[in-house]
Chain A
Amino acid sequence: MLEARLEQANLLKKVVDAIKDLVQDCNFDCNDSGIALQAMDNSHVALVSMMLRSEAFSPFRCDRNIALGINLGSLTKVLRAAATDDILTLKAEDAPDVVNLVFESPSTDRISEYDIKLMDIDQEHLGIPETEYAATISLPASEFQRICRDLSALSESVSIECSKEGVKFNCQGDIGSGSIHLRPHTNVDKPDTNVEIDLTEPVSLTFSLKYLVNFCKASGLSDQVKLCLSNEVPLLVEYTLQTNSYLRFYLAPKIGDEE
């Protein structure tokens, strides 16, 4: 059986909020190393991969591997019932019909308990290799969100060019064009605002802005976001969570017609 106690119900809330607009239903794969999730959007051009390691929970108990097929809409509804600082406990049998969520208020003795019916989800599971990316850009999550939001007003897609000088987000739209240039930047006082570029070779790729905007819904999870690019390879957008956990998005580049 599974029993996972999460100090911050808010974490799960944010994760689910971030991905519920990308996928509808997905399997939460629980094993002794933690809870993992991998799902693709309907068009199969974007993939979300989440890993909540067992260290994020206290305690974490998972006797055998369980796949919890959950409709994210339902999960959102239930999670909405949790206060930000509630303690969340996930429970499931070994062959579960439902997943049980318990919210404990740390200040009061209020305990709320919900069951969500599980579903059988037949999902393609992709093996994603560890890749050495040609360019890795770390920037404030809010900054990336802003870039995407601003540029999406102009165009459907953005080209990300990364060179020694910095990274350039460039778009061409019907009403005009826009570009945002970021240079590496270090602020010792506020490391959150750092922009770091780790470059082995220059890359230039084009991506759908709508998807990027969608990914940015995870911005609340982490101060920094990491963009990893290599030519002809999907973009990796990673939000690092505490205790080695992460939320990653992959997006296939636009190849061919330059817009």
Chain B
Amino acid sequence: MIRTLLRLTSARVALALLAIIALVTVLGPVLAPYDPLKGSGRTLAGPSGKHWLGTDYIGRDVLSRILAGAPLSIVSTLEVAGIALVLGTIPGILSVYLGSAFEWLSLRVVDTFIALPFLVFAVAMTALLGNGITQAMIVVGMLIAPVFYRVSRAATMSVARSQYVEAASIAGASTAWIVRSHVWSKVLPSVAVTLAQTLGIGLVVISSLTFLGIGIQPPTPTWGGILASDLGYLAQKPYAPVFPTLLILAAVLACNLLADAIRDAAGETGRALTGAKTARTNRARRLAAPADPAQP
């Protein structure tokens, strides 16, 4: 699947973008030309040779702040996605096998989480539970987890009810055998697609929280926080939000492209062995027609 993926243009673009972002994340703080926290007399300056992206309202170098903010924004996004992946996928697969009580309960919990107004709860929970970045990540991860739960449960169910699994269990296979040799490979592509999408969503949510000053407070630089401070000086420097916005959008776009590419490479049945040509046909078909005729 991975080799197929690398032959898709969209996947290459996505991975190139993500590689750049990863590089910025790792090297950003080192590359930053100025101290991101130290102001200067030159406030709200435009881009110049000295300050490539200008300065903010207390004269801090914008480029340095964006670079310094990268690790917090990106790493917390990764952690959010990781938490959601673990909290969602494992119960999702288990809900098919652990009996009806667990199934009913977990389904109701997931229904509830999906019905909650996401950002209101994220803001309220983070702030009430101590208003730190750790709390924010756990809360957001928990609120996103139902997506993984639903995806992995649906994939597991369709495999668990399939006749080839029934054939294996007639031959005396254990649940572990069935999960290992039949279920796992079918759940993986849809979980991978969801993971890629979740990275995008997670970045937006984390940026939204930091924009509101929840989770991380100024002056610690984050992309959301920089946007929030830019907002106050729109009249003086209306193009200021463009730089952090572009970075967030590039990351989100890369994640979405990657998700689509994985979907194409995995094919309609979630089969992991599609060739690059089939993947391109899948893409054409997906763009031309409804993604899933699952609606009864």
A binds B: no
Binding site for B on A (CB under 8 A): none
Binding site for A on B (CB under 8 A): none
